[in-house]
A and B are shown apart, each in its own frame.
Chain A
Amino acid sequence: MTVIAGEVYHQTSELKDEKSAGQEKDDLNIITLSFLAVAVGFLGSLTGLGGASVLIPVLVLFGVPVKVAIASSIVSIIATSSGSASSYVRERITNIRVAMFLEIFTISGAIIGASITTFIHATYLYFFFAAFLLSSFISLRKRAAGQISRELDKISRWLNLQGSYYDEAEGREISYRAYNALPGGLGMLVAGLAAGMLGIGAGAFKVTVQENILRLPPKVSSATSNFIIGMTALAATSVYLFTGLLNLTLMAPMAIGTTIGALIGGRILNKLNSRVLRVLFFAIIVFLIVQMLYKGVVSL
Chain B
Amino acid sequence: MSRSGNQTSRLESVISYILIIGVVTSLLLVATGLILYCLQGSLAIQLEKPEVYIHGNDFFTFLGGLLTGSFQTSKAFYFMTLGITVLILTPFIRVLASVFYFGVIRDAKYIMITLFVLIVLTISLALH
Contact = CB atoms under 8 A, between A and B. Distances in A.
A253 interface: yes
B66 interface: no
B53 A244 contact: yes
B88 A78 contact: yes
Contact of A31 (B43, B46, B81): B43
Contact of A248 (B17, B57, B81): B81
A30 B34 contact: yes
Contact of A231 (B87, B95, B109): B95
A237 to B, nearest CB: 6
Interface in B5-54: 8-9, 11-13, 15-17, 19-20, 22-23, 26-27, 30-31, 33-34, 37-38, 42-50, 52-54
A2 interface: no
A142 interface: no
A202 interface: no
A101 B58 CA distance: 27
A230 B89 CA distance: 11
Nearest to A243: B128
B91 A249 contact: no
A159 B120 contact: no
Given A30-B38, A234-B88, A255-B27, A111 B54 contact: no
Contacts of A65: 47
Interface residues on A, range: 35 or more
Nearest to A64: B47
Nearest to B77: A248
A63 B15 CA distance: 39
Contact of A247 (B33, B52, B87, B117): B52
Contact of B87 (A103, A159, A243, A255): A255
Contacts of A29: 43-45
Nearest to A171: B1
Interface string A63-89: 111001000000100110011011101
Interface in A164-214: 164, 166, 173
Given A30-B37, A92-B3, A235-B121, A159 B109 contact: yes
A164 to B, nearest CB: 7
A242 interface: yes
A235 B77 contact: no
A28 B87 contact: no
A86 B18 CA distance: 8
Nearest to B58: A242
Contacts of A8: 47-48
B27 A248 contact: no
Contacts of A237: 88
A215 B30 CA distance: 39
B116 A104 contact: yes
Nearest to B1: A166
Contact of B12 (A75, A92, A234): A92
A86 to B, nearest CB: 4
Interface string A231-246: 1011101110111111
Contacts of A259: 23, 27
A250 B120 contact: no
5 contacts: A24-B42, A89-B12, A104-B117, A248-B77, A252-B80
Given A82-B22, A251-B84, 9 more contacts: A8-B48, A12-B47, A30-B34, A30-B38, A68-B47, A82-B90, A89-B16, A160-B109, A249-B45
Ranked 7 nearest A-B pairs via Cβ: A24-B44, A166-B1, A238-B124, A86-B19, A90-B16, A29-B43, A86-B20
